[in-house]
Structure 1
Amino acid sequence: MTTPTTERRRFARIHFDGDCMFYSDTVKAPLKINDISFKGVLAESEHLPELKVDDKGLLIIQLDSGETRIEMPVTVNHLTARCIAFQAGTMELESIAYLRRLVELNLGDPSLLERELENLVAQE
């Protein structure tokens, strides 16, 4: 049985144990990613940067020790004492491809990936 929360969620959150950097005009802050989806990132830090809802910036998510990374323009969507929920903006094609592959590997079911992509296109 599904709950109202899961019925409303269109994008699967993928647990992702990794680090990222948040950049804005006034802030540069390392964060730890809790989960990621096509629509955003939930990150945490013991020392959150001073941000407000609707602040904009860029998350750089390094996927390996080389040049493979996701560059995600973001808007702060929600804040708690230790966590920041970011809503993803429009990404460059290369970053979308890396994010798609990350989601694909973690979902494990091609039909779930297709549903995610259909929902993403429908949102645009």
Structure 2
Amino acid sequence: MANRERRFFSRILFDAACEIHLGDRIWPSQVQDISLHGALLTAPEDFTGQPGEGYTITIWLSDNTTQITMGATLRHRKDGFLGFECRSMDLESATHLRRLVELNLGDEAELHRELARLSDT
């Protein structure tokens, strides 16, 4: 699945603080890259999650008040990184993410192709 995702969704290098939530547990982390389909985060040292488990990811944008919040499934752990697949997102978060991807792609047609692919996943 990870290879398929890389072909269909542009990864945007994005350096931002984030948090990984599971119940009452919160792990601070850092975003490495993000797409319309998920995010790659730095693995916190004490993170014990396993692939297939569901989490909530909160990504803080540059103003430190705006956030993208997504329900995500951990897809892989490798070399100190965690790959999450986005499963759900509120409308405000989706709008912020779309705008972030749009600004970094610089190609509105590509953005529309990627949005169309979301319905195929």
Shared fold (TM-score, shorter chain, > 0.5): yes
Counterpart for residue 113 of structure 1: 111
Supply the distance in 1 between the matched residues of 2:18 and 2:5 (Cα, whole angstroms).
29
Supply the distance in 2 between the matched residues of 1:7 and 1:57 (Cα, whole angstroms).
19
- 4+ residue stretches of structure 1 with deviation over 2 A? 5-8, 64-67
Task: Give the structure with the larger strand fraction.
Answer: 2
Counterpart for residue 56 of structure 2: 58
Q: Give the aligned residue type for 2:102.
A: E
Structure showing greater radius of gyration is 1
Quote the offset at 1:54 in angstroms.
Answer: 1.1
Number of matched residues?
Answer: 119
Task: Show structure 2 runs of 5+ residues with no match.
Answer: none
Over the aligned positions, Cα root-mean-square deviation in angstroms equals: 1.9
Quote the offset at 1:45 in angstroms.
Answer: 3.5
Match of 1:30 among 28, 50, 65: 28
Note closer, same or farther for the CA distance 1:45–1:7 as it changes in structure 2 (3 Å cut).
Answer: closer
Q: Is the 8 A contact 1:73 1:88 kept in 2?
A: yes
Q: Is the 8 A contact 2:53 2:73 kept in 1?
A: yes
Note closer, same or farther for the CA distance 1:42–1:110 as it changes in structure 2 (3 Å cut).
Answer: same
Quote the offset at 1:66 in angstroms.
Answer: 4.7
Note closer, same or farther for the CA distance 1:27–1:81 as it changes in structure 2 (3 Å cut).
Answer: farther
Q: Is the 8 A contact 1:48 1:82 kept in 2?
A: no
Identify which range, 84-93 or 66-75, moves more after superposition. Answer: 66-75
Counterpart for residue 41 of structure 1: 39
Task: Show structure 1 runs of 5+ residues with no match.
Answer: none
